[in-house]
Amino acid sequence: MDTPVMPSEKTGPNADTDSFSIRNIGIIGAGQMGNGIAHVAALSDYGVLINDLTSEAFEKAMLTISHNLDRQVAKDLISEADKKKALARIAFADSFAAFKDCDLVIEAAVEDEGIKRSIFAGLCAHLKPEAIIATNTSSISVTRLAAVTDRPDRFIGMHFMNPVPLMELVELIRGIATEDETFELSRTFVHSLGKTTAVSEDFPAFIVNRILLPMINEAVYTLYEGVGTVESIDKAMKLGANHPMGPLELADFIGLDTCLSVMQVLYEGLADSKYRPCPLLVKYVEAGWLGRKTKRGFYDYRGDVPVPTR
């Protein structure tokens, strides 16, 4: 790998020497979402620093990014030179102190409010005053998370879809204190990645998951009540509703722990029984069957072909 371009050396695509602009990006979390955001940002000429608990997590993320870039090269979407330049723009941040020159820091940790609040409480002291903080939360109140920081006016929800390199949409969610400048800078940044924005009000699960996760939860209830098998439910929705992926297969792809977390946020935040998480979804999470990432969920992925578990 080439020597990474450090943030102080970077001039990004929306650089403006006369006013604040986003040039250098910090990302907290090297998992599926974090490495996907790093991928598209580096490919769009931003300098990127990724922070995670271990350098091993970063190295794993870099292997994933390199592999996904290879796919784009194979499809003639980018050149081999583009790939090398993108990888050279990404470096490891061993602590939040490394984000001191970042203009935007995106939190992409697990969907757990306690963990996110802890991250934000420890992050702010290391950032320059004008830096923007974004959370990639898929369901948690942006206003509530912003209140933990020293800059709720420079805080925004920036919900990327999974897998980030392929999905076009990013939901932008303003907290009650988010300033217009923060919103406009964030929207410009997202558009510079080749993404399209949908603006959501700060209500539980926003737009996509407010609609999608109850559908998945209802599919789990359909399985739980014996209306259909895993295979028949997914087949029905793929062939009957023209969905590219069945709801249970999609749940495994998202992660059953994430699905449960979003449903809990909806149930607690809106106090409506229609959002009650299905007991079978709870049981799978309790068993550690979280979907693809643990090799078992509604399907068993340990063999060559996924096999329904019910």
Catalytic residues: 138, 159, 171, 209
Cα gap 85→80, rounded to integer Å: 9
Angle value at C-alpha 202, between 269 and 192, nearest 5 degrees: 140
Stretch (H or E) spanning 239: helix 230-240
Phi, psi of 184 (to 5 degrees): -65, -40
Beta-bridge partners for 90: 48
Cα gap 127→129, rounded to integer Å: 6
DSSP strand E in the chain: where? 24-28, 47-51, 90-93, 104-107, 132-135, 155-160, 169-174, 196-200, 299-300, 307-308
Phi, psi of 276 (to 5 degrees): -65, 125
Cα gap 27→46, rounded to integer Å: 12
Contacts of 307 (CB under 8 A, 6+ apart): 299, 300
Q: In what order do the strands lie in the sheet with 90-93?
A: 90-93, 47-51, 24-28, 104-107, 132-135, 155-160, 169-174, 196-200
Cα gap 296→270, rounded to integer Å: 31
Rg (CA), the chain: 20
Place of tokens 């979003």: 262
Cα gap 307→150, rounded to integer Å: 49
